[in-house]
Chains A and B, each alone.
Chain A
Amino acid sequence: MHKDVKDHSIAFGWVGISSVAVFFAGILACVAVDPAWSWTASSDADKYYTFGCILGGILVALYGVGKIQYGKTIGYCFAGVMIVLAGICIALQGVFTDESVTTVSKFLFILVAIFSLIAASLCTIEQNKAGKTLYVGAVMVIVLTALCFIASAGENDMITAVTACALAWVAIDGCSIVLENILGGKN
């Protein structure tokens, strides 16, 4: 029974990593089709962005469900709920790509950042309790970089950078689950 639980949790770890890969693949496809592409302006390449957001968001939400199901503590479970909400916001982001609804898009981006920050904080507290300094250090770098972008960058750059940081955290958390299963709970 315990073996089954471990096998499923590693699968969810891979889902977390692939969700970020799908999202960034969508962005890269947009830039490849239209080098001047920007998420704030309408373009022919928007369909790739929509595809990346919706599929990436669904995978992030699925990863959150795995976090809830296999979370050992209440902190991990609550972080899972936050990840599910962030995933839903990313998927909705793909629906609202029209130029007239950029206010909605920006609001969704801010929600993604807030949900991810709460989830990252909760997971970091739990990992710190378990003595996993590598994870804590990696999250420290990501969160401080995001905060610096919030403090210094322009609105559009800030939103893009903070979302990238949030997704980078999802990838690191997924890697942590995969490595934990492979190495058996070591750092």
Chain B
Amino acid sequence: MDAPKCAKIGMSLGFLGGIATFIGFASYGSLNNTQTFVDMAYVLLISVMFFAAAGAFRPGTAWTAKGATLMCYLTLAVVVAITATGLGDFAYGFVEAIIAILMVVMSYDKDTQKYISQ
């Protein structure tokens, strides 16, 4: 089975979210010059979550279709939690939350769920 459009978009969004987090991290740090090890850990956590969620949109992995959806929700939860508590930059957090919501929507596509479960 060829990869459905939604699976491709979901995976692309995952990589985009991971890379955008890194770019945001670099610019945020250079603007404020106040980053600590803990700040770095939060940003890296978001980045890792995005890359892991992107990997869930492939067949033949450890993820089930439901697991992939929950992984996307977990990514969204981490982004919202870190942004809401002021541990991360609000503007980047907002963009990342939108990317994560789009990934959740893509994971609900029937063809994508069949593709992931192969």
Interface positions of A (Cβ within 8 A of B): 131, 133, 136-137, 140-141, 143-145, 147-149, 151-153
Contacts and interface: CB of A to CB of B under 8 A. Distances in A.
Chain B, interface size: which category?
A: 10 to 19
B77 A140 contact: yes
B76 A145 contact: no
Interface in B55-95: 66, 69-70, 72-74, 76-78, 80-82, 84-87
B35 to A, nearest CB: 16
B104 A144 contact: no
A155 B82 CA distance: 18
Contacts of B76: 137, 140-141
B45 to A, nearest CB: 11
25 contacts: A131-B66, A133-B66, A133-B69, A133-B70, A136-B70, A137-B70, A137-B72, A137-B104, A140-B70, A140-B73, A140-B74, A140-B77, A141-B77, A141-B80, A141-B81, A144-B77, A144-B78, A144-B81, A145-B85, A148-B82, A148-B85, A148-B87, A152-B85, A152-B86, A152-B87
B71 to A, nearest CB: 10
B112 to A, nearest CB: 14
Interface of B: 66, 69-70, 72-74, 76-78, 80-82, 84-87, 104
Contacts of B82: 148
Binding site secondary structure of chain A: helix
A158 to B, nearest CB: 10
Nearest to B38: A152
Nearest to B78: A144
Nearest to A158: B85
Contacts of B78: 144
B70 A145 contact: no
Contact of B73 (A137, A147, A151, A153): A137
Select the residue from A131, A141, A145 with max chain B CB neighbours within 10 A. A141
A149 B70 contact: no
